[in-house]
Structure 1
Amino acid sequence: MSDQNRGKIPTIHDVARIAGVGIGTVSRVINHSTGVKPATRQRVQAAIEELRYSPNLIARSMISRNTGAIGIIVPFFTRPFFIEVLQGAVAAITHMGRELVLYNVETNDQRDRYFRDLPGQRKVDGLLVISLSPDDVAASAFRQAGMPVVLVDAYHPLLTSLVVDNIEGAYQAVKCLIAHGHRRIGFINGVTEGNFRFNQANDRLIGLHRAIGEAGLLFEPELVLTAPWDRQGGKQAALQLLARADRPTAIFAASDVQAIGVLEAARSLHLSVPADLSLIGYDDIEMAEVLELSTVQQPMKRMGELGVQKLLACIGGTADGEFLPELIRLQPSLMMRHTVIHTAPNV
């Protein structure tokens, strides 16, 4: 920075002067708009770095109606699944030079308030909504307000939705246990919290039914329990299942965190995993690899990254607020580690 500029707060006019372009070109570069030649874009970015220019987001929004910010609405964001999805989303947002505004949801009222108020406030250019499915009224309101919205791990036909095939993931897990000789398979599913409409739990139950039916086995509802999506919930459900005289020889947990609770329960009962009990989780969080847990892998970071890419495409795609919704279905994969063992079929 030159001496004459030292101590001054740089403006967009200073950037334009040093780069030898008009302020309109600088604005297009700042807002990641198309139509700027690579060499020109490079000169503008060099001038921004030289001046250490930080655009005023409020002023930018008054001129262009763009805030430069992406909003993410996520429930219980400290849970491992959401942390890993957020890591992918944050990396993509940072790479694109955008700001992040995080809206954590702990209650139904909080979720409904965000869905109702954010489109009109225009504090962000678009919303990434994780694991929360808007109802028809909220989805229609997003469209009418011209607010770009992408759902991750949730679905609505009016909005671009990025989901993982949870039915297939659960089917592969239970099919694997059956192939290893298990016939009494316990299932610890996630309990619906409030009326957040987590369809993932229902889909994983459907996958279980499909695998059992395909194998010609009898569905035993007493071996299916629901529990909170946390370690303590998994532990308590496992203690119930393993206290039965005809206890299961294998357990499929709807999340890795619940599966960690199953490991704790087995240890407290002096049961060895996998010698006495085979176990498969779901998600493939970082701790699953550390514990050598067999699990169904969701591409969590990719979900966040791709969700942001789709959202930015919506933001930059049309000016009239009309977005053609997509349904993007990602496939899970079974990660076999050291918590599953072959056993003689128990009939």
Structure 2
Amino acid sequence: MTIGDVARLAGVGRGTVSRVLNERANVDPMTRARVLAAIKDLDYVPSQTARRLSLGRTQTIAVILPFLTRPSAVERLRGIEFASVVAGYDMIVFNVETAERRDAVFRDLPRAERVDGLIIVSLSPHPDELERIRRFGLPTVLVDAHHRGLPRVVADDVLGGRLATEHLLGLGHRRVGFIGDLPRVPLAFASSRLRQSGYRRALHEAGLEVHAELVASGVHSRHRGLELARGMLTRQRPPTAIVCASDTQAAGALEAAESLGLSVPLDLSVVGYDDLDLADHLHLTTVRQPLFDSGVRAVQKLLLGIDGGPMTPLREVLPIRLVVRESTAPPLHPAIPRRSVAVS
């Protein structure tokens, strides 16, 4: 069965059938009805390849994101995939874990695959990368990344860090630590830095000092979170609570407390960030951000650009909220520093 068979049965030209299939507006309603009836009578299924050629598109979206195996990245990608499938688009994923891989992906992307649009997750484009994207006229949307000139879907990470810290301050904690990612890494993530900014702001507004020994950063992993938390908790004046830039790092902090014989939340309160499935399992108080929804919104915004429309608003901020579970409680002695814990 071909488009010609549909045209003959409907008494129209091939071009008219094509316009109906591609949902163009410039077709008389009665003519459209005849074409649709012919398609139904013939049980005609249009070739996706032919449809793509007729639209001048590949119906494919490229996604660049770092560390694909991280739970937060997986959840964002699930949202992107869901919205892409609903819209009839395929998806090509470029996993970036080193600066060299990042350079190669941005350099070769336009040559490697013909795509209709690009979504960049958690990587703010460098000037040369942005120039390449613009030169090829590729509609682009950022997720969890920032650039004034590009449409982006973000959460308010400063607010998130602030909510986590204010929750602990409200419980009576005064020595609150922070564990996040390294401030300068080749891939230049911004979210951890912004969450730490919110933590610092909350302490300042409460009239409390930010103690350098209670702010730690390292490679993003559960094990490193354990090491950093253990280092804090074995100080002469340890924190009574720790804010972590992710649930993964918070899981490490919980392990550190257990290894030192500390009870959570009796001896130590811990707050994470993301609200992954892991957080519910660990009864972890955390900041929930809409990871799946951020992927969905990025695709929806990108499709507007692919269709030639404005991708507004340029900066879309998705809501976040604090989810309180059993890992936080008032400190045993709010005004008295706890004794240090001996390292065994």
Q: 2:65 touches 2:94 (CA, 8 Å); kept in 1? A: yes
Kindly tell me: are residues 42 and 87 of structure 1, through their superposed partners in 2, closer, same or farther at Cα, counting changes over 3 Å? Answer: farther
Q: 2:302 touches 2:311 (CA, 8 Å); kept in 1? A: no
Is 1:285 aligned to 2:276, yes or no?
yes
Q: Deviation of residue 280 (structure 1)?
A: 0.3
Which deviates more, 69-78 or 108-117?
108-117
Kindly tell me: are residues 30 and 286 of structure 1, through their superposed partners in 2, closer, same or farther at Cα, counting changes over 3 Å? Answer: farther
Task: Determine which of 253, 258, 270 is the counterpart of 2:244.
Answer: 253
Q: 1:73 touches 1:102 (CA, 8 Å); kept in 2? A: yes
Kindly tell me: are residues 117 and 70 of structure 1, through their superposed partners in 2, closer, same or farther at Cα, counting changes over 3 Å? Answer: same
Distance in 1 separating the partners of 2:316 and 2:34: 33
- Percent identity over the alignment? 42
Match of 2:102 in 1: 111
Q: Structure 2 matches for 1:23-102, cutoff 5 A? A: 23-24=14-15, 27=18, 43=36, 50-51=43-44, 53-56=46-49, 64-102=55-93
**TM-score of the two chains, using structure 2 as the length reference:** 0.86
Q: Which runs of 5+ in 1 are unaligned?
A: 1-9
SS in 1 for 2:307: helix
Q: 1:81 touches 1:285 (CA, 8 Å); kept in 2? A: yes
Q: 1:70 touches 1:124 (CA, 8 Å); kept in 2? A: yes
Q: Which runs of 5+ in 2 are unaligned?
A: 337-344
Q: Structure 2 matches for 1:1-347, cutoff 5 A? A: 11-13=2-4, 22-24=13-15, 27=18, 43=36, 50-51=43-44, 53-56=46-49, 64-119=55-110, 123-192=114-183, 194-317=185-308, 326-343=314-331, 344-346=333-335
SS in 1 for 2:48: coil
Q: 1:148 touches 1:323 (CA, 8 Å); kept in 2? A: no
Distance in 2 separating the partners of 1:68 and 1:315: 10
Q: 1:255 touches 1:281 (CA, 8 Å); kept in 2? A: yes
Q: How many residues align?
A: 333
**TM-score of the two chains, using structure 1 as the length reference:** 0.86
> In angstroms, what is the RMSD of aligned CA positions?
2.9
SS in 1 for 2:270: strand
Q: Report Cα offsets for 1:14-59 as digits up to 9, x if no partner.
A: 5656777654455556666666769759938965994555422xx6
SS in 2 for 1:317: coil
Q: 1:105 touches 1:111 (CA, 8 Å); kept in 2? A: yes
Kindly tell me: are residues 334 and 49 of structure 1, through their superposed partners in 2, closer, same or farther at Cα, counting changes over 3 Å? Answer: farther
Kindly tell me: are residues 291 and 16 of structure 1, through their superposed partners in 2, closer, same or farther at Cα, counting changes over 3 Å? Answer: farther
Equivalent position amino acid for 1:283 in 2 = D
Equivalent position amino acid for 1:345 in 2 = P
Distance in 2 separating the partners of 1:30 and 1:268: 64
Kindly tell me: are residues 165 and 277 of structure 1, through their superposed partners in 2, closer, same or farther at Cα, counting changes over 3 Å? Answer: same
